[in-house]
Amino acid sequence: MQDQARVVAYAKHLDDGHRDDLAAALRGLGAGVRDASAAASATYDVLTLDVGLPDGASSPVRAGLARWSAESGIGAALVPAAVYAPGPKLLIMDVDSTLIRQEVIELLAAHAGREAEVAAVTEAAMRGDLDFAQSLHHRVRTLAGLPTAVIDDVVARIELSDGAEQLVAAYLDAGHRVGVVSGGFAQVLAPLADRLRLSFARANDLEIDGGVLTGRVAGAVVDRREKERVLRAEAAGSGVPLEATIAVGDGANDLDMLAAAGLGVAFRAKPAVRAASDAALDLPDLDVVRYFSGL
């Protein structure tokens, strides 16, 4: 009995030699290679191999693939059949340093002259060294007294990650759902969600009183548990099996969401997140993710 799966390799450049080397490595791990295809963009190449795995061999094949990737310098992911099989799909992503290049809280803190302080706390929280909710409250307090006009300034400065628009469009155009769940802020996220036509967007609310930020978050914090809850709820509500979902993130507060998804993708992520995820994407181009779903 063999399980069907797919191996997707990605790098700035791939050739026939890389294909043959990967196929040999997979055969050495007991996988049967049935078919191969290639695609390319201006910034990356993708190689897709359909494979058959011996019953129960997914974990050792994934580990062997990780070793091959480390030795070759080529990213590679073992994708379960449910993720790319025909049927409804769901892509859910983190926002800061994933969908967009920046950390919104740092852009806001720059207006208070405290960007360096906030950046240090953000870095520790994303590594998992600090409790996310506590770190968020600490960072938001630095914003107290800022006028709401700073939100518009930050929205204007946001830069999407390379490939983000193409990835979102590929899913939506194929009739699938794409959403984000963020430890950032709804007031900044809303215009971006409208621009990208996202199916849903969930984030924290900055408390505002009299046209200024109070330095507090209104309501419960969107933490790692809430990110997983949103993934599960959106999948169930849209009739998408959890095993057919893909989650993408970079920080420790994404870990539960990445673990619950059918495929958890660490995008230019912290070491602990890379180690715990199904796939590590270090190319600075989110568009690669659509190949995991066969789009």
Are the C-beta atoms of 203 and 185 separated by less than 8 Å? yes
- 50 among known catalytic residues: no
Distance of CA 146 to the CA centre of its chain: 31
Q: Residue 132 has which token pair? A: 């996310």
Catalytic residue among 15, 45, 96, 131: 96
C-alpha 128/C-alpha 72 separation (Å) is 29
C-alpha 79/C-alpha 293 separation (Å) is 8
- 96 among known catalytic residues: yes
Q: Residue 41 has which token pair? A: 């963009």
Beta strands in the chain (DSSP E): 2-11, 32-40, 45-54, 75-80, 90-93, 177-185, 200-209, 212-218, 245-249, 263-267, 279-281
Q: Residue 159 has which token pair? A: 């830069």
Catalytic residue among 45, 50, 55, 94: 94
Which letter, b or e, does each residue of 176-212 get, where b requires 16 or more Cβ atoms within 10 Å of its Cβ? bbbbbbbbbbbbbbeebbeebebbbbbbbebebeeee
The 8-class DSSP code of residue 203 comes to E
Neighbours of 79 (CB within 10 A): 22
The 8-class DSSP code of residue 243 comes to G
Which are the catalytic amino acids?
A: 94, 96
